[in-house]
Amino acid sequence: MRKFFGTDGIRGQANSEPLTPHTLTRLGQAIGLHFMRGDHHHRVLIGKDTRLSGYMVESALAAGFSSVGMSVATVGPLPTPAVAMLTRSMRADLGVMISASHNQFADNGIKLFDPDGFKLSDQVEKEIEARLESSLFLVGPSQLGQMVHLDDAIGRYIEFVKNSLPRHAHFEGLRVVVDCANGAAYKVAPLILRELGATVIPLATSPNGLNINDGCGATAPQLMCEKVKEENAHVGIAFDGDADRVVFADECGGLIDGDQVMALIASDWHERGILKGNGLVATHMSNLGLERYLEILGISLVRASIGDRYVAEKMRDEGYNLGGESSGHVIFSDYATSGDGLLTALQVLTVLMRKKKPASQVLKLFKPLPQILKNVKLSPDLLQLPEASEVIEKGRQTLNNKGRLLIRPSGTEPLIRIMAEGEEERVAREVVESIAKALMMLSQRDVA
């Protein structure tokens, strides 16, 4: 078990453990020492989203890195995938993104990338935590790391994303609503879409440190959907706080999730003969409707553990070049090492322009099965009880092999997530509610 790391780095409330200046400085020291190998000059690249606490987290981590002899290069607010890309292209020893992704401003977190731009494995995270339990070596005054700011980081990322498109691709004549969640994409997303010729209607592009993900962005896309209809736009795009994921709206304001996006790209790449392994890697949260749609096309759906880094690991291990999550993380391994919302948006818009059809026809390729998800604030330890196992097995029997049931602890919050999927929404909902009620009763029994 890991003490600090969850499914996507470290996350918690800012200025509370483990995100206090003292602990963050020690984390910087432990992380830095782990990646200081060889006798070259060691460097770490640090990016962040727009949270007020980002300044504190950045300063504390930088102090830790410097104190063990690692120099720091900061890039300011940029999407998480930009940090991964820059870490790799600059030959840095480590990349750090300061963000709590889709959470509200009071939370923050740390996502780490190795020199190749990939998120760390569970084993590496355990090794870093083990270092925190021992004495950390600090260098002498003459070996302290330096700190610089990279002024051209946004331009480098823009050119990288553009290079994923065909040379003459453009979005002339396309009206696009772009919701940046008052987060990391607030500058770069509207800029690159305008450079490619789109007419951009911006939303949530005025961050103040407190309004990130506040009624906007990928986890609150209603504003974007309404704006599409109001502005007669062709499509809407909504990023989350660190812009590693994205959801869409068609011209009618209908919401398009990551499963539909993956269906579009997989079918398009399959048709063009560039889908490696003739398959798509998704997680256990992806809808059964996606799996059935791909099966008709002769494309396999390979499921990985929940979390885009697990998707990326399976893609690398088994040779696939497309994968993602229903939440909107999509990984194009021919271009990037992690989920990239802006890269995904450009790929989708390119297909939309080529097909010359309304988004409602291009982006809705299958009918999802009813999927009911409920989060309950209970200890994940309850799932270890025999009584809990019995209740869960009963739920599976109720679905009668015509759906799926997934119960798991959240990797970022103290929650148990219950998901049921089936042919009938009523049955799926009854299964979820019965399991949630039973777990609550078990929790009350244990407290008593």
- Enumerate the active-site residues: 101
CB 248 within 8 A of CB 261: yes
Secondary structure, 3-state, 389-427: HHHHHHHHHHHCCCEEEEEEECCCCCCEEEEEEECCHHH
Strand pairing partners for 13? 107
Q: 236 with 254: CB under 8 angstroms? A: no
* Residues 285, 286, 287, 289, Cα dihedral to 10°: -160
Longest Cα–Cα distance in the chain: 68
Cis peptide before 81 (omega within 30 of 0): no
Cβ within 8 Å of residue 345, ≥6 positions away = 189, 193, 237, 246, 248
List, edge to edge, every strand of the sheet that includes 330-332. 300-304, 279-283, 322-324, 330-332
Sheet holding 107-113: strands in order across? 5-6, 9-13, 107-113, 94-98, 43-48, 71-77, 147-149
The count of other CB atoms within 10 Å of the CB of residue 90 is 15
Give the count of alpha carbons within 13 A of 293, CB side only.
Answer: 21
Phi, psi (degrees; rounded to nearest 5) at 144: -60, 145
Q: DSSP state, 90?
A: T
For the chain, how far is it from start to end, CA to CA, in angstroms? 28
Nearest to 2 by CA among 97, 109, 181, 122: 122
**Around Cβ 144, how many Cβ atoms within 10 Å?**
16
CA–CA dist 387, 384 (Å, integer)? 9
**Between vectors from CA 184 to CA 180 and to CA 190, what angle results, nearest 5°?**
45
Which residues on adjacent β-strands are paired with residue 176? 200, 235
